[in-house]
Amino acid sequence: MPDIVPNTIKVAAAAIAVLFATATAAIPAYADEPTPSIPVPSAEETSGGHSQHGSDHTTTPSETADEPSTGHEDHAPPTEPTEPPSRPRAWVFGGFAAVNGVALAYAAWLRRRTAPDRERRTRARVAAQVREGNNR
């Protein structure tokens, strides 16, 4: 029985060619237009930090103003001045420093506690190397 794999490769290659030709032929007219084809969000629009998904989200019809904000959908109109969003920097940096400080302190303590073991292992390794060297 002839090996089917080379044949399937030929079929697959033909399929790729068809796929590629279709894709290239189907490139829509906007492809020749200057970018961007979709308006780039302005600084005001992106100030909430969720330009793409947020703007998509606000266009959904069933959303109401009464729903609690998830931090994702509320955007001020571009014409109104927007207040810079408050960032909990102190909390975030404080938490970062605290968690890492604890981790470093714990690691230093662990290192100190296991130092004798480490030294013993090092001595054993060196001794083994010396023995091996003498035997050679």
Partner 1 sequence: MSTPTVETPQAGPEDQPDTTPPPVGRNLMDIPVVARILRSRWYPGIVRVPIAAVFGLVAYQLLMGPDAAHDNAGTALMWVLWWPLLPIVFVLLGRFWCAVCPFGWLSDQVQRLVGANQPVPAFLKKYGIWIIDASFLAITWADHVWGIVESPWGSGVLLLILTTAVIISGALFQRRTFCRYLCFLGGLSANYARTGMVELRADSDICATCTSRAACYNGTDKVAGCPMFTFARTMDTNANCNLCANCIKACPNDAIQVRLRKPTSELWFIRSPRIEESFLAMAIMGIVIVQNVTMLEMWSDVLAWLQRTTGVTSYPVIFTIAFAIAVSLPVGLLAGAAKLASAHNLESTKLNFARFGYALIPLDVAAHIAHNLFHLLAEGGSVLTTVAALVGIEAGDGDPALASNGTIQVLQFALLALGIAGSLYAASRITRRRYRTAARRRTTYAPMAALVLLLGAVNVWLFLLPMAHRM
Question: How far apart (Å, rounded) are the C-alpha atoms in residues 25 and 134?
Answer: 76
Tell me the torsion sign for CA atoms 27, 30, 32, 35.
negative
With binding defined as CB under 8 A, does residue 14 bind partner 1? no
How many residues make contact with partner 1 (CB under 8 A)?
Answer: 73
Looking at residue 96, its amino acid is F
Q: Contact, 116 vs 84, CB < 8 A?
A: no
One residue of 76, 78, 94, 111 binding partner 1 per CB under 8 A: 111
The distance of closest approach from Cβ of residue 101 to partner 1 in the complex, given in angstroms and rounded to an integer, is 10
Give the x/- contact pattern for partner 1 in 47-86, rule: CB under 8 A.
Answer: xxxxxxxx-xx-xxxxxx--x--xxxx----------xx-
- Give the residue from 130, 31, 32, 42 showing the smallest Cα distance to 82: 42
Question: How far apart (Å, rounded) are the C-alpha atoms in residues 136 and 124?
Answer: 18
Residue position matching structure tokens 């400080």 = 101
One residue of 76, 78, 94, 103 binding partner 1 per CB under 8 A: 103
One residue of 107, 126, 127, 130 binding partner 1 per CB under 8 A: 107
The distance of closest approach from Cβ of residue 44 to partner 1 in the complex, given in angstroms and rounded to an integer, is 8
One residue of 76, 78, 100, 126 binding partner 1 per CB under 8 A: 100
